Amino acid sequence: MPEPERRDIEIKIGRLGNLEILLILPSIMLIMAFLLDSPSDVLHGLYKMIISPDVLLTDYLEIGGIGATFFNASILAFTNIFIIYKLKLKVNGALIAAIFTIIGFSFLGKNIFNVWPMYLGGYLYVKYQKIEFKNILVIIMFSTALAPVTSELAFGLNTSLWISLPVGIIFGIFCGFIITPLSSHMNRLHDGYNLYNIGFTAGLLGTLINSLLKSFGVNIKQQQILSTEYDLILKLFLTGFFIIIIIVGFIINRKSFKGYTKILNFSGRLVSDYTQLVGYGLTFVNMGIMGLVSMFYVIALNVTFNGPIVGAIFTIVGFAAFGKHPRNTIPIMIGVLICGFVTIFDTQSTIVIMAGLFGTTLAPLAGKYGIFVGLMAGFIHLTMVMNIGIIHGGINLYNNGFSGGLVAAILFPLLNSIKKGD
């Protein structure tokens, strides 16, 4: 195929085709929601999810059931894809990562009520700064890491809803308003070696909010609510989708996997947008492969699939368009496992499995400095993430992004200085 013609196809895909491709997952989930549960069960489960505490770890599959969880995820995905469409944004790696992260965390903390105050806060920010909302959309989508702030204050203050509901919404708006200017400065601390930069920012902001609330006698209790009954359904669902996305990528890439190994040569450091670097077809192939790699990691450890694990897998899949690939993520996963085996942590616990999956936020370190550094980063990350949640009380859903930011901020300058010394 001539180069100009191939470019025309890529442009068309970028403007519209990828939006249609992104609709595949929420469409499947919406259909499955009503195949697996009745409409009344879906609505009742959704209500339970909205009013429940959403701090880490809250598995919506256990709170509301699989139908309500799938419905919640599909509605959030459809709404955000519609916003992208209305703003006439070209689908890129960052937007793909944001969409899949929202879908993932729709299984463990984000719902159709608690995310929107952040969007309103972002809207007020762009009006104040006199800029366009599309310039900060990705940041605002990721800022929903702090969605539990809204839920916790709206429904967890043990006071009248006439008081608590506005308080929760106002705090959410506040988070959405200030997170954009904060995030741009936080990236400098880790120099792009932590892919979940907003998670790092949200961790600091969540620590501030948690400290303020404690000062007024409001103590947020962390929890661990996990499901066990949907293991087989989730495995079949995920496997089927990842195979579909690989086939889609294969077709877009002119029915070939040619060029895929090029992805493995990128460090993944921010900003590594694979849709621009290797094209949409190979990006989708990488997403599907990373989904299967993540599943194998969990299955190999004989761990039951639940909401948080599904959330972690979808997040990896999203960031497989924006920095992650097998070469720079597997060392991190193995490093976490090694740490689990030689320390007091249970390698089969959900929180350790999540650390192995979400810990791939540090993939750029392995991509830049090699396998040994990746192993070391994963090892350190687990020790950090297992102890850091207490300071923000679980209201930052991207706890691993917070931990990863700190690990990267420590390791990157040391590694850089050693390299220069050589």
Q: Is 352 exposed, middle or buried (0-12, 13-18, 19+ CB in 10 A)?
A: buried
| 287 in the same domain as 197 | no
| 285 in the same domain as 162 | no
| 374 in the same domain as 262 | yes
Residue 151 falls within a domain, yes or no?
yes
| 209 in the same domain as 306 | no
Peptide bond into 271 cis (omega under 30): yes
What is the reported pLDDT for 14? Answer: 43
| 194 in the same domain as 269 | no
Question: Residue 184 in contact with residue 116, Cβ under 8 Å?
Answer: no
What is the reported pLDDT for 158? Answer: 81
| 127 in the same domain as 180 | yes
Which pLDDT tens digit goes with each residue over 155-193? 988 888 999 999 999 999 999 999 999 987 887 788 899
| 170 in the same domain as 300 | no
Residue 227 falls within a domain, yes or no?
no
Query: How many structural domains compose the chain?
Result: 2
User: Strands (DSSP E) along 274-369, which ranges?
Assistant: none
| 257 in the same domain as 211 | no
Query: What contacts 292, CB < 8 A, 6 or more positions away?
Result: 239, 242
What is the reported pLDDT for 1? Answer: 47
| 144 in the same domain as 267 | no
| 111 in the same domain as 153 | yes
Size of the chain in residues:
422
Alpha-carbon span 108 to 130, nearest angstrom: 34
Q: What is the pLDDT tens value at each position of the chain, 422 positions in all?
A: 454 444 454 445 444 457 889 999 999 999 999 999 999 999 999 999 999 988 989 999 999 999 999 999 999 999 999 999 999 999 999 999 999 999 999 999 999 999 999 999 999 999 999 999 999 999 999 999 999 999 999 998 888 899 999 999 999 999 999 999 998 788 778 889 999 999 999 999 999 999 998 898 888 888 899 999 999 999 999 999 999 999 999 999 999 999 999 999 999 999 899 999 999 999 999 999 999 999 999 999 999 999 999 999 999 999 999 999 999 999 999 999 999 999 999 999 999 999 999 999 999 999 999 999 999 999 999 999 999 988 988 899 999 999 999 999 999 999 888 865 44
What is the reported pLDDT for 111? Answer: 97
Q: Bridge partners of 58?
A: 225
Q: Which residues span the domain enclosing 203?
A: 3-215
Residue 136 falls within a domain, yes or no?
yes
Residue 161 falls within a domain, yes or no?
yes
What is the reported pLDDT for 222? Answer: 81
Euclidean distance between the first and final Cα of the chain, in Å?
Answer: 46
